Each structure stands twice: as C-alpha cells, then as structure tokens.
Structure 1
Amino acid sequence: MENAVVKTNYNFPGQKSLYEGKVRDVYNINDEFLVMIATDRISAFDVVLPKGIPYKGQVLNQIAEKFLNATADIVPNWKIATPDPMVTVGILCEPFKVEMVIRGYLTGHAWREYKAGKRQICGVSMPDGMVENQRFETPILTPTTKADQGHDEDISREDILRKGLVSEEDYLLLEKYTRELYARGTEMAQKMGLILVDTKYEFGKKEGSIYLIDEIHTPDSSRYFYSEDYEARLKNGEQQRQLSKEFVRQWLIENGFQGKEGQVIPHMDEAYVNSVSERYIELFEKITGDTFVKANPADVQGRIEKNVMACLKSL
C-alpha cells in the first residue's frame, strides 16, 4: 500500500485555523486565502472509513482543477493556483448557506422520494408516470441547506427567500449559474461517452461578487452514467452503469454496513484498498480523457508543505 495522506497538521505563515472535513483539510490564511488539501480519506454513509486510498486526493483535486478552469467564463471561481497535485489555493469567500443541487434524471434521493409517492421535491413538481433514471424534460433544481452538523436538508426556493438565507437578486444568479455550469458539464461529459446525471455546486461571496467555490464535477460530488447503453437499460428496467463512488457504498452494504448504530465497518485489506485506488484512477481517466500521472509517493507530506509555502510566498 503506497503512502496515503489521511491527516495533515501544518503551520503555514498567517494561518488562522484548520478545518478538518470528511475528506479535506482546509487552512485559513489571514482570513484572505484558503489552502484546501484533498486528503486520501474516504467517506461513505457520512462515516470516514479507517483506511486512506492512495491517489484519491490527487484524483479529486485534479478533476476539480480541470472543471474549474473549463467553467471560469461562466462564473468566477475561488481557485488561484494548484501548487501541488493534492492542493488548491484560493480566495476565501463567505459561503452561501445553501448548496445548489441540479438533477437531469430521476435517480438517487429524488427517485426515493418519487417512489414513496411524492410528486414535489424542493417545491418543484415532478410529472406522474416516470421511471427510475428517466431524464427530466428540463433539469430540476433541488437545493439543500448547508448543515454545520448532521445531514443537509431539502429546501425550496420560496423557503430560501422567506428565511433570508440568500437575497432574491443573488438567488436568481445562483440558479442561472447552476444551470449554465450543468449544461457545460453535460457537454463535456457527452464527449467522454458519459451522462452527467446530477451534481451540486457551492457558491460564496467576496466583496459583493459571487464565486463558485469547492470542487465541481468530481465523482464525489456528481453522478455519471455511461451513455452507450443508457437507453437499452432504461427500456429493460435495468440498473444504469454508474461512474461514481457508488461501488464503495455497495461493497459496504454487501458487508453489512450502512452507517447505522451498532454496525461495524468491514475490514479493508491492502488488496481492497489498492482496488479502490485503481477505480479512482479509472474514474479520473474516463471523466477527463487525460492519462493519470501518479505523483511521487515519497515524503508526500514534505512535498505538500514545500509547494504550499512557495505558493503562499508568491501571493
């Protein structure tokens, strides 16, 4: 098993705080910049699994970099530089308290609600007579609250405005940007023989301007189907072939774990960990069309520190 980064503990110049998310460590530099390290931690069912996955952080960071670069003409984004394969340095924004989720297909959470008899999600109507994984005539927006603790919750545009979570002027812009970003992501996916099924975007504000923040169009924040057999599978009522981290969830379910109380995370041996690493590299190459180049695994922590320090000096 190669060197996986599961924890960082740097002390960068001007560092104000360190926030440890499920899979990323985020350093606040002088309340002006963020250093976001995509670690090799992996989570499922809101639980961080005990073993890191070599190269997972690099995969997610480099996919996000590609898509941030490819959408900068639609909306400015927070990224300033990618000084290391696992690191993005960018502008610190005040995040909006909602996440913008857009769904082109009736799948996942939306399908579960639909199957339970609901025909509205986040205030948006869904027509009768649809089947799982069917395409919506027009992609639907299903925002969620951004929870500090626990699960995010569905919320309608009306409730967002009524609660004053986002001003009407800003919210209309967030909707516009979300639709345009999804259209671009869909177009890029099509060229790779993929369907961008659903995804989420996070936005923030800095000095009156809206920025796209966080990662975009990665297999951790998005769901992809393979387009070649989508129609045949839909017609036959078969499950779609997915490009996401769903395979990890399935392995956990098969081994009796869904994050519920009293359940024990199954043992992740070296062979399994390396197989997950290989799947993530496959995801990278399928989504981007680029060949994945493994970063040098020797002294990864030292490499990250050196590269970030050099970047911060140049800001």
Structure 2
Amino acid sequence: MSFADKVLAVNNDLPIRTELPVHSGKVRSVYWLTEVDSRRLIKEKGYNVAEDTPLAIMVISDRMSAFDCIWKGEGNMRGVPGKGAALNAISNHWFKLFKDSGLADSHILDIPHPFVWIVQKARPVMIEAICRQYITGSMWRAYSKGEREFCGIQLPDGLEKDQKLPERLITPSTKGILKGIPGVPEVDDVNITRADLEANHESFNFQKPEDIDRYEVLLKEGFDVISEALGKLDQIFVDTKFEFGYVTDAHGQDKLIYMDEVGTPDSSRIWDGAAYRAGKVVENSKEGFRQQLLNYFPDPDVLLNKDRMAERQALAKDNELPQSIMMDVSRTYLNIAERITGEPIQLSDNPKAEIVTILKDEYGLID
C-alpha cells in the first residue's frame, strides 16, 4: 500500500445522517446531526449539555494547509500521512490535561475514533486568541520593518529575531470578516486591540464586557499548562492560537469554553529546546513546512503578500510538492505527537471504513 493510500484527504463524503449540508474547512469537516439523533445521544451517553443542544460529528483529515491554501505532493499525495491522527491525539491530550488541571471545558463531548470528535454547538467568540512568548514569524517581519505597536501593545527597540519577549503578549485578530466596527478593517484575520474589544464586545460575540477578562485568563491558563508540559520534554511553546465560544450545560448555565484544537503543530509554534540553546531554531510544527515552501518557490512574496492570493492559489493548485517535503511534515507531526502523548500514533490502512463501522454500530448515526 502506498503512502497516498493511507492519507484521508476527502472527509466530507461519509454517510452520516444529517439535515444540513456538510461544512468542510481546510482540515476538518463538520456533520450536524438531526435533532432526533442529537437528543438521543445526549440521553444515551449522558453528555453534560442542555437536552436540546445541537451536536455534530467533526472528522479531521490529513490535508495540508499553509498560507491559506491546500498543498499536495507527488504520487497523488493529497495530504500528509498521520497528520490528522497526530493533531487529534495532541489536542485530546491537552484537553484532558486542562480538565485534570481544573481549567474550562472544551466543545468536545466524545472521541469515537482517532479521527473523530463529537462536539456540541457553541456560539463562537469572533476572535483568534493569539498568545506569544517569542518574537518570530509575522511579528518579527513587521518589527524588522520598524513597527513597534502590536494590538495596542508597545514593544521596545533592540529586540532580535526569535528572542524571548520581555513579557508574554496577547495579540488577538479577527475571526472572519466583521462589519461595522469602528477602526477595524472589514477583512479576515486583522489585528485588534483590547480597546477594540472593550468598545465593541457584542460585535465580537462576547456576552458581557467581563468576559474579555475571562477569555484572557483562559488563554493564559491554557498556554501555561501546555508550556509547562512541553518544557518537561525540552520543547519551547513559542506562540499559539486558541478559539473560544459559549455553550449551555445540562443545568442551563452558560459558560465560556475552549473550541477547535489547542497546542497542535498546526495552531502553534513549537521549538526544540536543546537546539534553541545552541543558537538554532528547529521547528516541531507547521512553521517548518511554511519555511520549506518559502525556500522551494522562487518568489516567496507570492506566499507572504495577501494581495497576490490568486497567484498563490494557482501555485498550490498547479504544483505537486516533492514527496520528501510531505514526508518531512509527516515525521515532524508524528514525532511531536508521540513525545507529547507518550504513545505511538497508530496509523490506519482504512480510517474511513473504521469510522463508518463505529458510527453505525456504536452511535446509530449511519443507516
């Protein structure tokens, strides 16, 4: 069996009973269950949610996204072997650690298969909550061109690339295109300040102004739990993106929870500690793949310049990357997942068939 056969690239065609169209993101597909199935599972499985909460099956894939495009490899590789299983295993590990540490809940209610989450519908806060401990990536590029203010925070002169910041920074950006907010451009993923959030908390989907403090606490708590655990593995938690939303529990209480994935190589930068102390950055995250893309194509500006998105999409569509690049990513993701979880990641020969069997036999979601 070839590597390409082991990749789960298409994840929006499972025969799960739904009433709504399947929503396919860059990496995950979401199947909203029927009201009857949602209520039945809540009762059968004893999930701590209101009895009328909509539930969804979230299926991860092995697709490789970077610079807002999906990339493929030679030999019909439509993704990276092991990537989806590694991402889910890492997120599941951190969410369990959050629970053990008394942190807030997540939207995940059940994990039927390494590629699958059963999630509750949440009302998302419309920000990408970003926390940074080091100056690198887009922040360094802007800093090196003379910018000193980031999301309303003033940075001192004299910082060097990849150095630890004087303090851990919270630098949120918009999630999606938000309209009608004074001073906030109507484009996706634009930096915002805490003052923007305070002045327009309802536009960002915060229920009350105090929840801005609450999300910052959750972000810092989650960051610290992961950073400390990675530190014990001599890995550095450089920066990360969290997402938050509101749910209602079985007692009718609204609460702010963690959404999406946390602390994964897709949503975070993770550096090898020993290499960093020796003056070298070794990426154990998607950033390594981004750097390979920047070095692989003759005009890296296409990947960095949002005004050239059409050219960038053509680049991703028309090019098959060397298999060696895709397998480098596979090794990076599987290695860091195994270090974090302490267990080998089991790769399935046919994850789709396994998912269908489990959802049919154990959850009654497939006819």
Q: Indicate whether the TM-score tops 0.5.
A: yes
Does structure 1 retain, via aligned residues, the 8 Å contact 2:284–2:332? no
Separation in structure 1 between the aligned mates of residue 165 and residue 247 of structure 2, nearest angstrom = 34
Among candidates 96, 101, 114, match of residue 69 of structure 1: 96
1:295 corresponds to: 347
Q: 1:179 to 1:12 in 2, by over 3 A?
A: same
Amino acid at match of 2:356: E
Tell me what 2:25 maps to: 21
Matched, 1:276 2:329: yes
1:31-75: CA deviations, max 9, x gaps? Answer: 611211110111111111132112211110111100011112211
Cα distance between partner residues in 1 of 2:286 and 2:193: 27
Indicate yes or no: 2:80 matched with 1:49: no
Judging changes above 3 Å, is the alpha-carbon distance between structure 1 residues 100 and 271 closer, same or farther for their aligned structure 2 residues?
closer
1:205 equivalent in structure 2: 246
Give the drift of 1:313. 4.4
What is the CA distance between 1:138 and its match in structure 2? 2.2
**Compared with structure 1, are the counterparts of its residues 242 and 279 closer, same or farther at alpha carbon in structure 2 (3 Å cutoff)?**
closer
The answer for the alignment partner of 2:58 in structure 1 is: 36
* Alignment CA distance shift 1:272-1:130 (3 Å): closer
Residue 236 of structure 1 corresponds to none
Matched, 1:82 2:86: no
Choose the corresponding residue for 1:242, options 283, 291, 294.
Answer: 283
Give 1:28's aligned amino acid.
W
Instruction: Show the counterpart of 2:9.
Output: 6
**Deviates further, 140-149 or 305-314:** 305-314
Which residue of structure 2 aligns with residue 225 of structure 1?
271
CA distance in 2, matches of 1:111, 1:293: 34
Q: Write the mapping of 1:16-165 to structure 2, written as runs, cut at 5 A.
A: 16-29=20-33, 30=35, 32-50=54-72, 51-72=78-99, 73-147=102-176, 151-164=188-201, 165=204
Q: 1:16-43: per-residue Cα shift (whole Å, max 9, x none)?
A: 3321111111122246112111101111
The secondary structure found in structure 1 opposite 2:138 is helix
Residues 95 and 156 of structure 1, relative CA distance in 2, 3 Å threshold: same
Contact 1:85–1:295 (CA<8 Å) still a contact in 2? no
Residue by residue over 1:163-184, the C-alpha shift from the partner in whole angstroms, topping out at 9 and shown as x without a partner, is 2322311111000111111111
Task: Say yes or no: does 1:180 pair with 2:221.
Answer: yes
Contact 1:196 1:223 (8 Å CA) reproduced: yes
Secondary structure of the 2:16 match is coil
Identity of aligned residues (%): 27
1:82 CA displacement = 1.1
Q: What RMSD over aligned residues (CA atoms) do the two structures have, in Å?
A: 2.2
8 Å CA contact 1:102, 1:139 repeated in 2: yes
Q: Give the superposition deviation at 1:272.
A: 4.4
Q: Take 2:188 and 2:329, find their aligned partners in 1: how far apart are those partners?
A: 26
Whether the 8 Å CA contact 1:197–1:223 is kept in 2: the answer is yes
Q: Determine if the alignment matches structure 1 residue 193 to structure 2 residue 239.
A: no
**Offset at 1:291?**
3.0
Give the 4+ runs in structure 1 shifted more than 6 A: none
Range that drifts further, 266-275 or 119-128: 266-275
Alignment-mate amino acid for residue 7 of structure 2: A
Distance change (3 Å), C-alpha of 1:250 and 1:12: same
Aligned with 1:253 (options 277, 289, 294): 294
Cα 1:130–1:18 shift into 2, 3 Å = same
Distance 1:136 1:231 in 2: 16
Greater CA drift, 137-146 or 163-172: 163-172
CA contact (8 A) 1:37 1:87 kept: yes
- Structure 1 residue 271: deviation in Å? 4.8
**In 2, are the aligned partners of 1:17 and 1:27 still within 8 Å (CA)?**
yes
Distance, in Å, in 2 between the alignment partners of 1:249 and 1:135 is: 21
Q: Secondary structure at the match of 1:242?
A: coil
> Residues of 2 paired with 1:275 and 1:140: CA distance?
31
Structure 1 residues 276 and 137: CA distance shift in structure 2, 3 A:
closer
Greater Cα radius of gyration, structure 1 or 2:
2
Shift of 1:14: 4.5
Which shifted more, 103-112 or 162-171? 162-171
Question: Conserved in 1, the CA contact under 8 Å of 2:85 and 2:345?
Answer: no
What amino acid maps onto 2:10 in structure 1? K
2:262 is matched with 216
User: Quick one: distance in 2 between partners of 1:269 and 1:138?
Assistant: 40
Task: State the distance in 2 between where 1:278 and 1:240 align.
Answer: 17
